[in-house]
Amino acid sequence: MVETSGSGRFHYPQRPRWIPPVLASQGRLFALLWILGFASLFVWQRNSLAGGISLDLLRWRLFPPSPDPWPFPRLRPSAFKLTDFGGVGDGRRMNTKAFEKAVAKISRLSKRGGGQLNVPPGMWLTAPFNLTSHMTLFLAEGAVILGVQDEKYWPLMPPLKSYGHGREHKGPRYGSLIHGQHLKDVVITGQNGTIDGQGKSWWTKYRRKLLNYTRGPLVQLMWSSDIIISHITLRDSPFWTLHPFDCKNVTVSHVTILAPVNEAPNTDGIDPDSCEDMLIENCYISVGDDGIAIKSGWDQYGIAYGKPSTNIVIRNVITRSMVSAGVSIGSEMSGGVSNITVENLHVWTSKRGIRIKTAAGRGGHIRDITYRNITLDNVRVGIVIKTDYNEHPDEDFNPKAFPVLKDIRFEGIHGQGVRVPVRIHGCEEIPIQNVTFRDMSVGITYKKKHIFQCSYVQGRVIGTVFPSPCDNLDQYDEQERLVKAAVSPNITDVDYDF
């Protein structure tokens, strides 16, 4: 302790005699401890690296990332290059065996934390291959994984149980270029390297009806958990681009997804399908169908499979779709879709902005859906809810399996150049319940009637909404006091002529 005398001076306690004089000052003590600590760290680092610990792992141990509710990509204790397994990145020679050997090597390291496969710059042509658990696939800047275009190299797989048939043909379907089943702890990341499906030949054969089976996705992971896909580009998929099926705890972040906006059929960007606990953020998507489409099975097959898509957050996404919508739910939603949040979404130069689509025969539910801070820029129809999307896998569906649509919120909807801001089309068997609009102002290009269209919808409008809402909805002021009651929730004012 510090003591004072009557003179007001400070006196420090006398140093015990057993402390060496060299350590008398705090500065010298700190310097000596720092030198000893650094020396021991150097020895530990040398031994660790000699034992196969990567320098990146060392940095992670010394300076771990700050806590975050969404996981960072795991650093692996072992890393390999595709060229270690005979890979050649000339765009001509096949690298399927090299990928398979690398994955087999990493699969044997699962109890030791797995491994990372580094794909160097180059054009790496390959047929479809599978991933394994506890694996990181890392694409360097300038690395391109190319899918072989000849469909004879693409394996056939059974149809998804929740669909009953292939989406385009009955019977089997083609597998995906990069595939995985029953996996845990999988990371696909890089320095914005590319996975290219070379889909043009597939699209041409599809339009000419030269394919006997449903086209395959670019990346498909099934019955898997703890997945991170980040900082890569996915382009020109033969079919849906990124398709997680019945997966849990999935993060898709800083991913660019591209396909021609015309004449690239069914090239959805991201299709969460019967997935739980999923985050999609900071992505740019411009494709030939839906930017993002949340699904959960098709008619009686999806009802029997019974696995909903739930707890999904989509945020900070820019998307474009000249054929369908920026973000869709359905139409295959028979297992149910619930607890979805879409926020900070920008849809530009598209046919539709936000779309919910279903039909009699689907069953299931769409509920607890929140759209917040949505920007619509040059969009033909801003918000669409459609209940007559009558595509069915076969004739065995139950036409009285009516889906339930309720508790859907739209907050902070803004934009310009929109022809029809809202088109909500419920029907007597499928009424749309408890819809809320709040803080909406959309600049329109069509200034006659049929701007805010409704049928069989019940809900409310809070505060100022432009253009004027339909009479099906109760209108409240900002303090949520009733201003005008709905005339009838069943008024029909939907015009599909434009």
pLDDT in tens, 176-225: 999 999 999 999 999 999 999 999 999 999 999 999 999 999 999 999 99
Question: How long is the chain?
Answer: 498
State mean pLDDT over 40-45.
39
pLDDT of residue 39: 46
Contact in structure between 314 and 342 (CB atoms under 8 Å) = yes
Q: pLDDT tens digits for 323-353?
A: 999 999 999 999 999 999 999 999 999 999 9
SS3 helix, strand, coil % of the chain, rounded to 5? Answer: 15, 45, 40
Integer Cα distance of 123 and 223 in angstroms: 30
Smallest CA-to-CA distance from 384 within 417, 416, 426, 447 is with 426
Q: What are phi and psi of 116, to 5 degrees?
A: -115, 130
How would residue 47 be classed by pLDDT, with cut points 50, 70 and 90?
very low
Per-residue pLDDT tens digits for 397-426: 999 999 999 999 999 999 999 999 999 999
Considering only CA atoms, which of 402, 385, 478, 470 is closest in space to residue 439? 478
Residue 73's pLDDT is what?
Answer: 53
Return the pLDDT at 445.
85
Q: Answer yes or no: is pLDDT of 259 > 70.
A: yes
Q: Is 32 helix (H, G, I), strand (E, B) or coil?
A: helix
Whether 36 shows a pLDDT value over 80: the answer reads no
Given 289, 290, 299, 474, the catalytic residue: 289
44 pLDDT tier (thresholds 50, 70, 90): very low
What pLDDT, on a 0 to 100 scale, did the predictor assign at position 107? Answer: 98
Please give the average per-residue pLDDT across 259-267, as a whole number: 97
| 322 or 69: which leads in pLDDT | 322
Calculate what percentage of the chain has a pLDDT beyond 70.
Answer: 84
| Rounded Cα gap, residues 386 and 397, in angstroms | 19
Read off the pLDDT of each residue in 287-298 and give the average, rounded to a whole number: 98
Tell me whether residue 289 is one of the annotated catalytic residues.
yes
Question: Could you tell me the pTM of the whole model?
Answer: 0.85
Query: Residue 3 has what pLDDT?
Result: 39
For the chain, the average pLDDT equals 88
Task: Give the integer Cα–Cα distance in Å for 430 and 427.
Answer: 5
Of residues 105, 42, 46, the one with CA closest to residue 76: 105
Question: Residue 446 has what pLDDT?
Answer: 73
